[in-house]
Every structure is written in structure tokens, then in C-alpha cells.
Amino acid sequence: MSSVLVAREGHLAVLTVNRPDKLNALDNDTIRALHRAVDELSADAGVGVIVLTGAGEKAFVAGADISVLAKQGVLEGRANSVLGQRLMQALEDSPKPTIAAVNGFALGGGLELALACDLRFAAAGAKLGLPEVSLGILPGYGGTQRLPRLVGMGMALQLILTGDPIPAEEALRIGLVNGVFPLAELMEGVRKVAARIVSRGPTALALAKEAARRGAALGLAEGLALESDLFGLASSTAEMKEGMQAFLEKRKPGWLRT
């Protein structure tokens, strides 16, 4: 049985971590399978949005596989961290908008997976946290870097240093997730958001994501220069001409997706 399932629903691609007996914990094979799937979907012109979720109703991803981490030494620990970070970076760098549908526990590597996505929606009752310090380690898949950038250093350090999980409603309050749905309505809610995104220009989406993601690591002047460069690039596309013409003609644009 595959540890990662890929389903296509029109221009929506759903990636499901499929290890429900392990609460969808990330072992190295699953990380590699996710990375391959993200790369393939990112290169597919027919994909508009990538959604990540977990199998079953208990967990999104309950963390890294402790049976793997318990055996690591210095070199193995660094290699495991780099392996996970490369997956998260592939998600962040994907030209496709990505959404995490957090249907249960998102702990450790699971929260780090969600943090690498562009948007996060959680089921009511879901728990999110970085409990690594309770195991004598620290977050190693990007959590110490992405969480402070998202919710601020003070709140991020509280979550990282206590290791305590927070409920979905608190995650919404601090800006860790974009919305909370009843579990039975989570995927439908995410599909509606994805449909809104897919209705927009695909090249514009990729360039807007690049401007925001890359610009966040730059000073304001450099970020504005990047935005202007990408704005100019967008202005050279047939997609821009179609979008503008459709607006003037009061019709829906016909975006080119194969």
C-alpha cells in the first residue's frame, strides 16, 4: 500500500499521507514519495492547486517517525533534517498554490509540512504543535524558521520551547491557520477556496506567490524591485491580455490550462 496517494479532481490535486496506522507519521520513504509527487505536480500544467491532507480522521501528520529518529546519531540526524527540509522547500518553491487540510493532529514534522504550504485550514478539534523538545531534540524540518515568520517570535518560541500543542481555534486566533471547519466539512471548505484560486490566471498566481515568498526574505527596497520585475514579466503574457480583455468584455477569462 502506497504511503502517499495522489488524486486528481479537475485542476485540483490532492496528496494524502496514507499511514493511518502510524497516525501518518513521516518516515524517510514517505518524505521521498511526497517530494516526488510535489515535483511532478508542480511541473504539470494541468494542476492549479495542490492540497495536502492525511488519511483517516485522527491525524494530518502526527510528526516524524520516532522509530527512525531514535536510532540517529550526529550525521544521521543532520541527514534526516536535510531530507525533510528539502521536501518543505519544494512545497514552498512550487509555482502552484498549496493548501494544507489539517484533519487532525499536526505535530512536529506534520506542522512543519503545513507551515511550508501557502494556506492552512484545520478541522475543529485538530491539535497543532512542535513537541520536539519533549523528546530531547528540536524541530528540524524548518519549524524554527517558518513558524516565527508566520506568527511572530514570541508566540513561536512559546510553542517551540514548551512543546505544548494548541487547538485549531487558538491556531486561528494567532494566524497559524486561515480557517477552521467542522471535520466533515473541511475538504469541501478547502475545495471552495481552491476553486477560487483556480479561477485566477495561472501565471499570475505563480508570479504573485514568487513575489511574496522571495520578497519576505528581502529588504523592502529589494522586495519592491522584485515585485516590479515580476509585474513587468506578467505584463508581457498572453494571459494578461486575456484577463484584461475579459474584464472589458464582462466575461470570464479563458485561461490556458492543458
CA distance 128 to 170: 9
Q: Can you say whether residue 27 is alpha, beta or left, with left for phi > 0 and alpha for psi between -120 and 50 degrees?
A: beta
Are the C-beta atoms of residues 102 and 55 closer than 8 Å to each other? no
Q: How far apart are CA 89 and CA 234, in angstroms?
A: 24
The Cα–Cα gap between 223 and 220 comes to 5
Q: Which of 132, 185, 227, 239 is catalytic?
A: 132
Would you call 227 a catalytic residue per the annotation?
no
Q: Which of 9, 76, 112, 242 is catalytic?
A: 112
| Rounded CA separation 87/61 (Å) | 14
> CB count, 10 Å around CB of 204?
17
DSSP class per residue in 145-212: HHHHHHH-HHHHHHHHHH---EEHHHHHHTTSSSEEE-GGGHHHHHHHHHHHHHTS-HHHHHHHHHHH
Please say if 132 is a catalytic residue: yes
Rounded Cα distance between 109 and 142, Å, is 9
Contact 170, 177 (CB under 8 A): no
Q: Which cell goes with 105?
A: 493532529
> What end-to-end distance do the CA atoms of the chain give, in Å?
30
Tell me the catalytic residues.
112, 132
